[in-house]
Structure 1
């Protein structure tokens, strides 16, 4: 039996009339909000009930259990109770009109007997609770539950399901408990409104099961790929498509979820057209006939300054106010000619074209004054993706739109960042907000099963915001999805932590970041290695053990990337340890291995519906920073600068990360995701204070030559706080500056001095050292390589010869000025043969042999005197030589 229309109407009437002014009031004599269950207490109910009182007794689950259901008890609730009793170990569950004699456990569901038992057990009556509220009690050898309405009874059954254990035999002891519970806001659910790869029919059915289990009562069907909702909104559905929607409607009814059909005619509708109104209501009628009772007309993401027909301009005029009047005209006709003429229809919902702020405007004023007052207006908060949402903002929205507000909360939707999974909790929403609203709907990710972590927390907040704790709810979501298995939960938590960051959760991978920070402050390496090992192993554990196979399927490339980053980070950790211990050969071996591991970690892609391959990100800014710092630490220990670390305060377009402007490849680039505002920057961290040589900034690219800083300055700093100007530039995409002699810095940045609409492309941003080394000789470099790579200050770059050395051939390194050094170190790739070259230095105008190359790392005492040059004299006939770096220190 579907949720009673009376209950739904009562809930919405409360939202329309009371919530915007006073907030939802609790029932008479309501207890204080519940708190998280203590260790050893009864299992936690999710969402957290408004009131939970523990009793001192226990109830034993007997082999046979009798269910006494009232004559009007919700069938789905009774079926769920019986299923939960079987899962708890009952061997036989019997439905009867009365309790049996003896010590057999009896469960009362609605009706007179349930009401009597609830009163005797201290849970009170459900009759004085708000719509969808319920009372539940366990104690004195019995269990009783009852709802304010059918949906309330179903929710009571869901709470009982969580209180009961999962066992394969009877005898479980269930702690005595008295619960009184009700929702903080009438409507709570999900709007499938993202762009990108649509959910499958199977996934939608699974989602409806999930919503029912989490006391979410609304699902808005608005997939952007359904052409019959948008481009072909006037056309009837083919029979097979309509049959699929009916299956969704029926499943929603079984789970006490309102299926809302959202038709989006704004791309082509003529607001004043009788024919279009007829087409719209005819479409609604076909959905009514298969059981839909809630309808919406989203008018977002369209132009309201360009009419679709001349008749609208003639009738309404032009501008935002005219658009609001036109939309109100159409919606009022739908409301009066369809909704009002169909008993049982729920209030009409609409999404305004201006859905993302609370600023007064002619458009909003037209809606406020002309749209029927019982139409619900959907609103995303202040911003399309609102980092925070407050009570004051909700009141402003109610005032400026003049209608009850149903939030369309764009979290955890990731259609604008398809390279990420957003796995953190619902956050940044003020306590007290739900009472100001007609309801809360969340826009989920392209990945349906992976959305469940965040949606679990949305459900918790929307039901009981007073008791909501984002981190605790997130932990409970992980435990639930892991099926109660400790090892699976540990793995899932480690993986979910890598996708924690979003506009609502600005801290990325907080648990992993804390472990890295502890190590950075002197914590033991073995402790950090255990954390990284858990992350490395997590994908395998989840693939083997996670009950929700959809989550594994959704997360595939991110799981692969997480494992690879775990391997890379653990290798980087060993590099740090080897560097600190002075294990030169091992450290160099690890230093060469890490970049390849990073390339693997960054190679995994999500393939979108258009076939585009999007490189995925996990714990970005945390794992990659740790690895970069490990490499930089090794390079500093060698006495070379290494590759600078790039940064920016601009958003990043797709995978065109800041690191691409320091990779030495002019064909790759950083690309911002928006035009730089005044003060926006791209910068380099040189890892240590050092002399500055030539600074080059190469911007723009083929296809977007205007994507450069049109007005900017180059600046440098030693502490990242006090900045000094190096040079200003205007109207040029290529900037080259020679710093004054003696200039030193650790940080260099290019900063916009004016805002601009064009985005920013940086192909290369480089700072040469003043202690340059000229490399000459041979053999000549192979294609893609260069002689200078053997002395460019970056051990990751390699000079590779195009052929074997010929007799007398040598590679010669000449510093700009003679350099005092204690040693000469030659770094080569793994497996480099011993004896490939003799190493000599020139001091005082004469050459002196130091020794012969012995392997991948060869170090020689330099002797006395300033070094004027270094020579590698190759052994003729040896394999084509390769050199990463020659270092004087």
Structure 2
């Protein structure tokens, strides 16, 4: 096994100082460089300027340069190790070197690379790394040499990772590399990943791959804590089978090679008896078996358990009941582990623990007991304010440090998706304040069930944790996509389009921000060619990624989402073509396209993957954006035709996950709109009826089981014909279900519920119903089961009147117009393939019916300019097939 880097022993001292409030992760003032970057650094390398990731603290260009010679001499210094030397050798060969020779002295000719040799920096007039924190390094390129000098072996390894990014790729010697000096150090001591999600654990191969990725991105900790590994939780006392133990050893060895600390996290809380000598021994014995294969860092997570129910009577007798008793019991067990195992094993790193109250900074008896009784050198893991914290601030970290009175290691629940298993979370690490890493013992991010897809977000986590002062989420995200695409522009473009429609999360509120901007631009400018190109690129992105993305694991992880993306893009392009056809007056073509959309949308929603329990999990892609565009396109098509359309909705509030506004208009009381925050005074939800109509009673059903206080506590119902001038219908207070009776003859296009006071609870609306007074639909033939006569003229071409039988002689379907009015045209929409013949007639003011045309195909449009009527009817020809009508549209002058 490769010798363990000295940094690991220094880490224990750092944690002890953090516990006493004597050390931060910020380097001494004298270590700072005047050129510390505020934006991601670009470094000249030949004719290209690659980004260094994570963003270095300081980069300076030099006026000189070096040349990659055919033979390069590699000199190993005090802080070099075999992994660092291997990274450097590989990078040099990729840069064109034909031979890399290891020696204890510089070569007589050609390029010499000093690895782990601070003294060699003198020729470049660069200061050494002695003043830097652990893991810091200096990289110098110039004065005829390359020098990598780490504060420790890990620092030199990180210098090698930076050099790997700086050197060009060339097939032959002779490449010139611009002079450069990098002085760099991490923003916090621990930076990495905790595999701590519920669901299918990662495969062994995926974990090995992840450890390689962490080393490349200067992350130095991996916490092994999958919730569904039985030997960590339900069977925590049991020894591992030999094959499983061998896998953990292989992971540990790989972690050491990549300068990553493998942390073994055992979770006994489901069954442990805290006062039991036997259980304490079982925990220590389990740790010993893991120590024997090379692990040096251990954790005891006590999250997601009950601390109000003891697992044994002895604990209740010893500590009593309540949160304070639980905190005392947990501190007792952890202190035993600390004393009997950690303290007796030289080289062991500080013990880590996850408290049962891990998600806030509120004082409590439980936290008080832990803060006072838990050994001071134990690291406490904390998720922020919330299980999935949208934001995390310096003030919150200070509060956590105060309330727990221990060094804080964040368990940041991003990009984990075990609470949203239908999604890939591919947006950047966001909402974390600058300065936060320096307040922490470290940052660990809980990734997705999909390990390879997690790398896009983890790239940004690594960037933030290393240099938060220079971190910009969108810039880091873009650089991560470029890197992950292997530097190929077409693959990068495809990956960016795919990541964009899988962007939103608790940390990134905007769904598909780049596609959303394109949709908004189209509705504003009407530039169909541009949007068609964007949607075409989105639709072809999955094929491009499948053929060209270097990391094949990503394709396996993302398969159903790739399929769904392709299908949603197809549906969106159909919707776009439909709108353009309608705008061009090509009604028949537009109607044909509109009828294709339901099947295309259903196909896009059909993709699933199989979860750990065998259930099929439907996947979501760009929801709230792609589906909303298609809904808006349908509405635009219908508007152009003169169809009032089904009601739509808008709000000043955000939306929580997929609980969109459409759910409060679907007639299903079990679905709902759910805001992502509490309403303030003036916030509103509005129903748009499509045009001014006679309205009847209004119902507003809010709250839901499990969220009984999520409703507008103080508000009014109002209506408007133009969206500008509003009339109050009723005020309401303290009740989730509201009804309003409307005076006969009231006309409105808009009805809204508006908050008149702020509140703490979010808002759930199960249904927002507005009765409209439209003309009656009568006649026949009678509708088949599941259909209705009303569907022939309900403002929604998506619903269809289907007759139960063929028409009889003289039978007709009549649509009333409420009152006589000028009629410009009659359009009859029928499903593709519908049969049945009929004359189209209008009833004039004298009560007589006049034939104005006949049904022809799925789309029939008859001009009736100059006529006034109070009804239209379809008079069926006897013997024709059972009719089907999607919508009878009566155009007004």
TM-score by length of 1: 0.92
Moved more, 333-342 or 718-727: 718-727
Instruction: Name the structure 1 match of 2:266.
Output: 263
1:493 aligns with 2:496: yes
1:590 aligns with 2:598: no
1:603 aligns with 2:606: yes
- Alpha-carbon distance in 2 for matches of 1:569, 1:465: 39
- Alpha-carbon distance in 2 for matches of 1:3, 1:373: 29
Residue 359 of structure 1 and its aligned partner are, at CA, apart by 1.4
- Of residues 512, 527, 532, the one that matches 2:530 is 527
1:340-384, Cα deviation, whole Å (9 max, x unpaired): 000000000011111111111111111111111100011111111
Contact 1:706 1:758 in 2 (8 A): no
Q: Secondary structure at the match of 1:315?
A: helix
- Alpha-carbon distance in 2 for matches of 1:381, 1:533: 41
Moved more, 813-822 or 280-289: 813-822
1:17 aligns with 2:17: yes
- Alpha-carbon distance in 1 for matches of 2:53, 2:494: 22
1:276 aligns with 2:279: yes
Instruction: Name the structure 2 match of 1:507.
Output: 510
Contact 2:729 2:742 in 1 (8 A): no
Moved more, 573-582 or 785-794: 573-582
Pair 396,760 (structure 1): closer, same or farther in 2 beyond 3 Å: closer
Instruction: Name the structure 2 match of 1:472.
Output: 475
Q: Which runs of 5+ in 2 are unaligned?
A: none
Instruction: Name the structure 2 match of 1:213.
Output: 216
1:813-870, Cα deviation, whole Å (9 max, x unpaired): 223333432222211123446x821111111210100011122222223355542322
Pair 553,832 (structure 1): closer, same or farther in 2 beyond 3 Å: same
Q: Secondary structure at the match of 2:468?
A: coil
- Alpha-carbon distance in 2 for matches of 1:432, 1:518: 37
- Alpha-carbon distance in 1 for matches of 2:614, 2:688: 36
Pair 384,689 (structure 1): closer, same or farther in 2 beyond 3 Å: farther
- Alpha-carbon distance in 2 for matches of 1:284, 1:168: 49
Pair 416,750 (structure 1): closer, same or farther in 2 beyond 3 Å: farther
Instruction: Name the structure 1 match of 2:820.
Output: 818
- Of residues 735, 741, 745, the one that matches 1:741 is 745
Residue 73 of structure 1 and its aligned partner are, at CA, apart by 2.4
Moved more, 156-165 or 168-177: 168-177
Contact 2:25 2:189 in 1 (8 A): no
Contact 1:661 1:668 in 2 (8 A): no
- Alpha-carbon distance in 1 for matches of 2:713, 2:657: 25
Q: How many residues matched? A: 880
Pair 720,10 (structure 1): closer, same or farther in 2 beyond 3 Å: farther
- Alpha-carbon distance in 2 for matches of 1:690, 1:751: 25
1:489-515, Cα deviation, whole Å (9 max, x unpaired): 001011111122222112222211222
Instruction: Name the structure 2 match of 1:143.
Output: 146
Residue 241 of structure 1 and its aligned partner are, at CA, apart by 1.4
Pair 373,3 (structure 1): closer, same or farther in 2 beyond 3 Å: farther
Q: Secondary structure at the match of 2:55?
A: coil
Instruction: Name the structure 1 match of 2:876.
Output: 874
Pair 796,737 (structure 1): closer, same or farther in 2 beyond 3 Å: farther
Instruction: Name the structure 1 match of 2:91.
Output: 84
Contact 1:298 1:351 in 2 (8 A): yes
- Alpha-carbon distance in 2 for matches of 1:50, 1:479: 21
Residue 4 of structure 1 and its aligned partner are, at CA, apart by 4.4
- Alpha-carbon distance in 2 for matches of 1:706, 1:77: 58
Instruction: Name the structure 2 match of 1:857.
Output: 859
Contact 2:643 2:889 in 1 (8 A): yes
Pair 674,485 (structure 1): closer, same or farther in 2 beyond 3 Å: closer
- Of residues 52, 58, 67, the one that matches 1:51 is 58
Pair 248,63 (structure 1): closer, same or farther in 2 beyond 3 Å: same
Residue 179 of structure 1 and its aligned partner are, at CA, apart by 1.2
- Alpha-carbon distance in 2 for matches of 1:116, 1:511: 49
Instruction: Name the structure 2 match of 1:324.
Output: 327
Pair 753,740 (structure 1): closer, same or farther in 2 beyond 3 Å: farther
Residue 60 of structure 1 and its aligned partner are, at CA, apart by 1.8
Pair 668,870 (structure 1): closer, same or farther in 2 beyond 3 Å: farther
- Of residues 92, 99, 107, the one that matches 1:100 is 107
Contact 2:674 2:762 in 1 (8 A): no
Moved more, 6-15 or 395-404: 6-15
Contact 1:351 1:377 in 2 (8 A): yes
Pair 585,188 (structure 1): closer, same or farther in 2 beyond 3 Å: same
Instruction: Name the structure 2 match of 1:8.
Output: 8
Q: Secondary structure at the match of 1:10?
A: helix
What does residue range 652-731 of structure 1 map to in structure 2 within 5 Å? 658-663=661-666, 669-670=671-672, 684-695=687-698, 715-718=717-720, 719=723, 724-726=728-730
Instruction: Name the structure 2 match of 1:445.
Output: 448
- Of residues 170, 180, 188, the one that matches 2:191 is 188
Contact 2:828 2:889 in 1 (8 A): yes
Q: Secondary structure at the match of 1:822?
A: strand
Q: Secondary structure at the match of 2:298?
A: strand
Moved more, 422-431 or 528-537: 528-537
What does residue range 294-333 of structure 1 map to in structure 2 within 5 Å? 294-333=297-336
Residue 521 of structure 1 and its aligned partner are, at CA, apart by 2.3
- Alpha-carbon distance in 2 for matches of 1:721, 1:384: 43
Pair 209,717 (structure 1): closer, same or farther in 2 beyond 3 Å: farther
- Alpha-carbon distance in 1 for matches of 2:859, 2:202: 54
Instruction: Name the structure 1 match of 2:798.
Output: 796
Pair 472,154 (structure 1): closer, same or farther in 2 beyond 3 Å: same
Moved more, 625-634 or 542-551: 625-634
Residue 601 of structure 1 and its aligned partner are, at CA, apart by 2.0
1:537 aligns with 2:573: no
Pair 578,758 (structure 1): closer, same or farther in 2 beyond 3 Å: closer
- Alpha-carbon distance in 2 for matches of 1:656, 1:473: 30
Contact 1:696 1:737 in 2 (8 A): no
Q: Secondary structure at the match of 1:555?
A: helix
- Alpha-carbon distance in 2 for matches of 1:200, 1:598: 34
- Alpha-carbon distance in 2 for matches of 1:99, 1:208: 33
Residue 568 of structure 1 and its aligned partner are, at CA, apart by 1.8
- Of residues 845, 849, 852, the one that matches 1:847 is 849
Contact 2:679 2:755 in 1 (8 A): no
Q: Secondary structure at the match of 2:231?
A: helix
Moved more, 747-756 or 776-785: 747-756
- Alpha-carbon distance in 2 for matches of 1:6, 1:441: 21
Pair 662,201 (structure 1): closer, same or farther in 2 beyond 3 Å: same
Moved more, 317-326 or 328-337: 317-326
TM-score by length of 2: 0.92
- Alpha-carbon distance in 1 for matches of 2:396, 2:708: 39
Instruction: Name the structure 1 match of 2:77.
Output: 70
Q: Secondary structure at the match of 2:238?
A: coil
- Alpha-carbon distance in 1 for matches of 2:6, 2:367: 31
What does residue range 184-583 of structure 1 map to in structure 2 within 5 Å? 184-522=187-525, 524-583=527-586
1:549-571, Cα deviation, whole Å (9 max, x unpaired): 11111111211121122122222
Contact 2:187 2:466 in 1 (8 A): yes
Residue 700 of structure 1 and its aligned partner are, at CA, apart by 10
Pair 56,690 (structure 1): closer, same or farther in 2 beyond 3 Å: farther
Instruction: Name the structure 2 match of 1:836.
Output: 837
Residue 293 of structure 1 and its aligned partner are, at CA, apart by 0.5
Residue 598 of structure 1 and its aligned partner are, at CA, apart by 2.1
- Alpha-carbon distance in 1 for matches of 2:706, 2:357: 31
Moved more, 677-686 or 306-315: 677-686
1:100-141, Cα deviation, whole Å (9 max, x unpaired): 322x2221112xxx3333222243212332111111111233
Contact 1:614 1:655 in 2 (8 A): no
1:166-207, Cα deviation, whole Å (9 max, x unpaired): 333333222211111111111000001111222111111111
Residue 784 of structure 1 and its aligned partner are, at CA, apart by 2.3
Pair 43,119 (structure 1): closer, same or farther in 2 beyond 3 Å: farther
1:703-745, Cα deviation, whole Å (9 max, x unpaired): 9999997999882344499673458699998968555531414
Residue 9 of structure 1 and its aligned partner are, at CA, apart by 3.1
- Alpha-carbon distance in 2 for matches of 1:317, 1:215: 46
